[in-house]
Amino acid sequence: MAFNIRSSRMLAPAAGRPALELCHWPLYSCAVLNGNATIGTAVALPRQVSFFNYALGSQVSGNDTSGGALANATRWHTNMETANFLAAPKTMTVTAIRVVISQLAHGASPSISDASGGASATAGTTLAQHAHDVLALQQYALRFFVGPKDYLQAPLYAVPSNAGVGGVAANSFQATATTGAYQFQRTVGTHIAGKSWSLDKWPVLIANQQSFGAELLCSFDSTVPGTGIDSYAEGNAQRLIQSRAIFVVLEGILGREVA
């Protein structure tokens, strides 16, 4: 007696397609630019500054000769686990972009410092220096790209941080202990607040293994036009007074593998 045994097959899970969970998760990357309040010692602003081009443990991007940009990246600097792309199977849907210019001065350890809380002339100077540096950085334009395509090209002031305060937040003045003479007035509120650059209606997908990044681009000359002078005293608009940490933050939805 012959038996006709019907063959059966079991479909294996598709290779390279693990289940993903979606969560609100920003990607951020920092660059540290050199600054120095001593006349003639600040380094000129670089024409190009790259972000997302290094991973945790790698050298931080920037030109900070004091050592801040030469430090190995920690979670404070970035949360990129691979440089320039997301490892499979991760994906990222970018819904907003923002740029944060730290009010804290960045040092060589790296360390950060802030004198704005003290009732002294140093406090007022620190805030004034941050205001100057914020204005100096407005020479830059921000470019965000995925693969060969640009999805944002805009002046830096058009991509606010959506963090901190803007405008005049507080006024105070300092008097000397002996004469009570008016010494200085300080204004707190040099952060760049404002709504982030929104991509919510037309979000940008970063697929796994797809290269992406952001750049600050400066088309201005580092010398004073018509003079050839390349010094802080003459070309202070091209210099930072304090070393600054600048963050580019990509807001959106991260797709990550389910453990």
Checking if the pLDDT of 118 tops 60, the result is: no
H helices within 115-187, ranges in order? Answer: 121-136
CA–CA dist 13, 175 (Å, integer): 74
Residue 138 carries which DSSP code? G
Domain membership of residue 17 (yes or no) is: no
Least confidently predicted of 100-104, 118-122, 148-152, 255-259: 118-122
**What is the pLDDT, as a whole number, of residue 184?**
52
Domain membership of residue 29 (yes or no) is: yes
Domain membership of residue 2 (yes or no) is: no
**What is the pLDDT, as a whole number, of residue 139?**
84
**What is the pLDDT, as a whole number, of residue 129?**
77
For 126, phi then psi, to 5°, come to -60, -45
Four-point Cα dihedral 48, 53, 56, 60, nearest 10: -20
Instruction: Enumerate residues 6+ apart whose C-beta is below 8 A from 11.
Output: none
Specify the number of domains making up the chain.
1
**For the chain, what is the mean pLDDT?**
77
Parent domain of 181: 25-257
For 243, phi then psi, to 5°, come to -65, 130
**What is the pLDDT, as a whole number, of residue 68?**
53
Q: Which has more confidence, 151 or 242?
A: 151
Domain membership of residue 167 (yes or no) is: yes
Q: State mean pLDDT over 173-184.
A: 56
**What is the pLDDT, as a whole number, of residue 56?**
95
- pLDDT tier at 119, thresholds 50, 70, 90: very low
Domain membership of residue 1 (yes or no) is: no
Domain membership of residue 15 (yes or no) is: no
